Structure 1
Amino acid sequence: MKTRHQPLKTLSPALAGLLLLSHAAIPGLQAGTTAAPAPAPAADKKPVSAGLLNDALRLQNPAFDAWDIGGQFRFRYELKDDAGVVASQDFISRGVDNDNDVFLFREKLHIGWQPESWLKLYVEGRGSQAESDDRDPSPEQDVWDLHQAYLQLGDPQLFPLTLKVGRQEMTYGDQRFVGIGDWSNTGRSFDAAVLRYSFSSTSWIDAFTSRVVIPRDDYFNESNEYDQFSGLYASTQSLWTGVETQAFFLARNVSGKSPNAIAPGIGGPTERDVYTYGVRLKSLPDKFGPWDFAFEGAGQFGDIVTAGVERDLQAFALTGTVGYTLRDVWAKPRIALGYDYASGDSNGSDGDHDTFEPLFGTNHSFYGVMDLVGLRNLNSPRISFSVKPAKGLTLSVDYLLFWLADTSDSFYPESGSARSGNGYGKNPQYSSFVGSELDIVAKYAFNSATEFQLGYGHFFPGDYIKSSVGSVPRNGGATGADWLYVQAVFNF
């Protein structure tokens, strides 16, 4: 792939943000500003649990204080009707089988050892099983594999540099661009090296390089050596009082061998060099009274090879949420308004590629809990309402509307290739209104170790889906989609 020299002005928002964060974080660079000492814990405050098994072991013998032994059991049943199995068959009234009910089981067992504050070893195994899944092979199946195994060196209380190297989970910000994908039965981890410089307990900058691990049932999971993901990520709470301010620059460099890196047809995306820069602002708890907010913006440049043609990437995404909680009212109701936008491609035959690339984001719940839509060619406002009528119980209702950012581009699923076939594709002659989704979710935490969830979602097809699906007579028109799930989690 040929090398391009990007103009300096393209990089300046990210670099300026990183420099500004560093300036805000380093003591002495801001006149009259010093880091506030951590408040002393209240005498009657209940100690934080280290987990059911750890608590029990440490009560028996102080030698277990250096050990972290525990795990998680998770069960989920999902029922999907008319969407969510094969994306190109979503919302089709007849002629296709796009219904699925699946039982998902996941077990995680870990052991960690930290004999010194500056030395930690951690290993975690993960088992993922799927029963009655109509997808063959099931993407949720990966019976016992190595999920994490890393060495961590350094103690920021003694020296500002720390290093974490090995197989590990990586999360940054709200996980829109880098996350663990925990809703998936297999989750996500990376073979990575992460170097952190801590300016204070609330200000740091990470430099990392990594390769994503590809889940593969019946084989030891390997990372894709042809899909390199690196970046700088900085965070501080000193730049703006009451706000976590972050800036990042991320690079994903993928060679043409990526799609078959692990085995034929098992790997990553096609050849591309994607550079993402952005800024995130999020209010800290209770710092703005009843108000809370989060905003994130990202731009992209680079090049992507599609159908053997190299095209210049120029894309961007904007997200934001503002919420208000009635603290003095029963059940503490909260109402929030949100908006998500990701650019689409206005001309698939020119030399530019304008569709935003969501990298390794955790999509579940951001763009509808039914996981039918992702952050690509998206224009989506939403309204959310939640209450907490009893201790441990949260009830939430979300209503989301979806438009295509550009009708000359495709309607993309949560992940994977664009919807195509059965009338789907690039249909610039149709309305941009895709549809809407209503989500209702109840979560109840029995205690710190056990949580139960029940959720329902319904997708109402809009004019774009009706026109696309309706253009093929055998489809019998468009239909709405339903989704129901029950989940139980036990941590020990």
Structure 2
Amino acid sequence: MKNKLLLLVSLIPLSCFAQEYPSFKSSRQDEDYSFLKKDSTKGNWYKTMKFLPADKSKNIYFSFGGDIRFQYFYAKNENWGDGEQDNDGYVLSRYFLHTDFHAGKFFRAFVQVQSSLADGRIDPSPIDQNPLDVHQAFADFNFINENGKRLIVRAGRQELSYGSQRLVALRDGPNNRQSFDGVKVMAGKENVSADLFFSHYVVAKDGIFDDNSNQDRQFWGSYFVFNKIPVVKNIDLYYLGYERLKANFNDAMGKEIRHSLGARIWGKSESWRYDGEAVYQFGDVGSKDINAWTASINTGYRFNSIKFHPEIGFKTEVISGDKYEGDSKLQTFNPLFPRGAYFGLASVIGPSNLIDLHPSISFEITKNIDWVVDYDMFWRYSGNDGIYAPNTSMIYPSNTTTKKKIGNQLESEIIWEPTPFLYFRLEATWFLAKDYIKASGIGKNIFFTGITSQVRF
């Protein structure tokens, strides 16, 4: 741990470049440093790292970067006391390094390696630990990419992320981000953009350079975004298709073919922000027909004229679960590839068979320090279905009790971003187990706390 902290401190001098470069993106492949072609500054090693010409015209160039994150977590009564418990806490570390190669306007190659380690973690899962592997390796063929128009074909291993990341996410919260092997076509003109893709999920393994495509899990779809729409401002419309050979729900198992149709309305003003989304799913699992859905609202109002600029937020989700056991229907919603820590890192609950009410308040203590407090209340949508993890693996079945109340969760976090290069977070969560959890397992209350430090370059 000491060596990791020394490494982090050694990179702090990067902050002297904070005013010269744009903010980093969550998906590092979305960054563009071509503007440095016109920068005549010499002797700046960081500029050379971000823009290294390979010819005199500077149309062919390399860009390098990375990301280092260290986290310490301590949990009391993890998983509500079920399973082996860790009384000492554990350290998660994650390292990203990438190379971005551009050959003129029409070709690009991007390679990113990832190392995710879990020190002191009891029986770490692939979400926690993946020692070293290729996270992304793709080529872009830019047929059109100018004057607000684009037509790009991307082939290879890549991240997928759409909309609010409720169904397709980077999975940045957990230690190991997810990726896909596939082909994606990206098109856009003025205020309209569209993606079409076909892929296989990449399975993380506890070895070195051994991750591979899961041929039993196919994922395809199309995603359209319309901006500058009167009144609502922005609309997303999408179709997502998913197939896996072995699915296992409370009352269904077998081959799953699931289709999702969704719509999202979102936008913000100086004070208001809003995000509403609805999804309908159909298809089949084994011999059962899928008839599932979800609807969510996420809104907030920021008081800009008040000290600390408090923002009051409210989010609610209703997510279908199976109504009756033994019939020919399955109403359990599948969130596909969502954020791994969907309701925070302490809670293992995923967005299936759930009703969630989630008020929050945040304060801007200083320009670079935010304090967020939120409170989550969870119920089962259907008493005839269990609760699931984000990957739809079952946590508890339906037959333990008819009670629907799962529990309440209070979370507080302080976030400090002194520069675009540095990020620190201190968090604590309390989960109060209620009737369903107590009837289904040991049912203890959870206390979870952690600290995160991260540097990007």
Q: TM-score range by the shorter chain?
A: 0.7 to 0.9
Name structure 1 gaps, 5 residues minimum: 1-44, 85-89, 260-268, 470-474
Aligned equivalents of 2:345, 2:351: Cα separation in 1: 13
Aligned to 1:16: none
Aligned to 1:489: 454
Q: Secondary structure at the match of 1:465?
A: helix
Shift of residue 79 of structure 1? 1.1
More strand by share: 2
Match of 2:343 among 367, 373, 378: 367
Q: Secondary structure at the match of 1:164?
A: strand
Name structure 2 gaps, 5 residues minimum: 1-18, 24-31, 34-43
Aligned equivalents of 2:77, 2:223: Cα separation in 1: 40
Aligned equivalents of 1:290, 1:382: Cα separation in 2: 20
Give the letter aligned to residue 70 of structure 1.
G
Aligned to 1:351: 328
1:396 aligns with 2:365: no
Shift of residue 58 of structure 1? 6.0
Aligned equivalents of 2:311, 2:54: Cα separation in 1: 44
Deviation per CA, 1:22-75, whole angstroms, max 9, x where unpaired?
A: xxxxxxxxxxxxxxxxxxxxxxx9652678965254689796782210111111
1:98 aligns with 2:63: no
Aligned equivalents of 2:169, 2:296: Cα separation in 1: 16
Structure 1 residues 56 and 190 mapped into 2: Cα distance closer, same or farther (>3 Å)?
same
1:74 aligns with 2:69: yes
Aligned equivalents of 1:427, 1:53: Cα separation in 2: 62
Q: Secondary structure at the match of 1:140?
A: coil
Question: How do 1:420-435 and structure 2 match up within 5 A?
Answer: 420=396, 425-427=397-399, 429-435=401-407
Match of 2:267 among 260, 283, 292: 283
Give the letter aligned to residue 278 of structure 1.
G
Give the letter aligned to residue 55 of structure 1.
K
Deviation per CA, 1:102-122, whole angstroms, max 9, x where unpaired?
A: 211111110011121222111
Note if contact 1:452-1:489 (Cα within 8 Å) is conserved in structure 2.
yes
Aligned equivalents of 1:53, 1:353: Cα separation in 2: 58
Give the letter aligned to residue 440 of structure 1.
S
% identical equivalent positions: 24
Note if contact 1:368-1:437 (Cα within 8 Å) is conserved in structure 2.
no
Aligned to 2:316: 339
Aligned to 1:48: 22
Note if contact 2:172-2:340 (Cα within 8 Å) is conserved in structure 1.
no
Shift of residue 316 of structure 1? 0.2
Give the letter aligned to residue 76 of structure 1.
Q
1:294 aligns with 2:275: yes
Question: How do 1:214-233 and structure 2 match up within 5 A?
Answer: 214-219=203-208, 220-233=210-223
Note if contact 1:125-1:148 (Cα within 8 Å) is conserved in structure 2.
yes
Structure 1 residues 431 and 400 mapped into 2: Cα distance closer, same or farther (>3 Å)?
same
Structure 1 residues 59 and 231 mapped into 2: Cα distance closer, same or farther (>3 Å)?
closer
Aligned equivalents of 1:402, 1:437: Cα separation in 2: 8
1:449 aligns with 2:436: no
Aligned to 1:240: 230
Aligned equivalents of 1:185, 1:192: Cα separation in 2: 23
Deviation per CA, 1:196-246, whole angstroms, max 9, x where unpaired?
A: 22122x311111101110001225210111211000110011333562210
Match of 1:468 among 437, 440, 443: 440
Q: Secondary structure at the match of 1:466?
A: helix
Larger mean CA deviation between 144-153 and 210-219 belongs to: 210-219
Aligned to 1:26: none
Give the letter aligned to residue 446 of structure 1.
P
Question: How do 1:45-444 and structure 2 match up within 5 A?
Answer: 48=22, 54-57=46-49, 66-84=61-79, 90-91=80-81, 97-99=84-86, 101-135=89-123, 139-154=127-142, 155-157=144-146, 160-200=150-190, 202-219=191-208, 220-241=210-231, 243-255=233-245, 271-284=255-268, 286=269, 289-305=270-286, 310-364=287-341, 366-420=342-396, 425-427=397-399, 429-444=401-416
Aligned equivalents of 1:142, 1:236: Cα separation in 2: 37
TM-score, scaled to structure 2? 0.84
Aligned equivalents of 1:429, 1:332: Cα separation in 2: 44
Structure 1 residues 144 and 68 mapped into 2: Cα distance closer, same or farther (>3 Å)?
same
Shift of residue 326 of structure 1? 0.3
Aligned equivalents of 1:413, 1:60: Cα separation in 2: 44
Shift of residue 416 of structure 1? 4.4
Deviation per CA, 1:154-210, whole angstroms, max 9, x where unpaired?
A: 14316532111110111000111011111121210011111122122x311111101
Structure 1 residues 139 and 234 mapped into 2: Cα distance closer, same or farther (>3 Å)?
closer
TM-score, scaled to structure 1? 0.78
Structure 1 residues 212 and 137 mapped into 2: Cα distance closer, same or farther (>3 Å)?
closer
Note if contact 1:54-1:68 (Cα within 8 Å) is conserved in structure 2.
no
Aligned equivalents of 1:453, 1:47: Cα separation in 2: 23
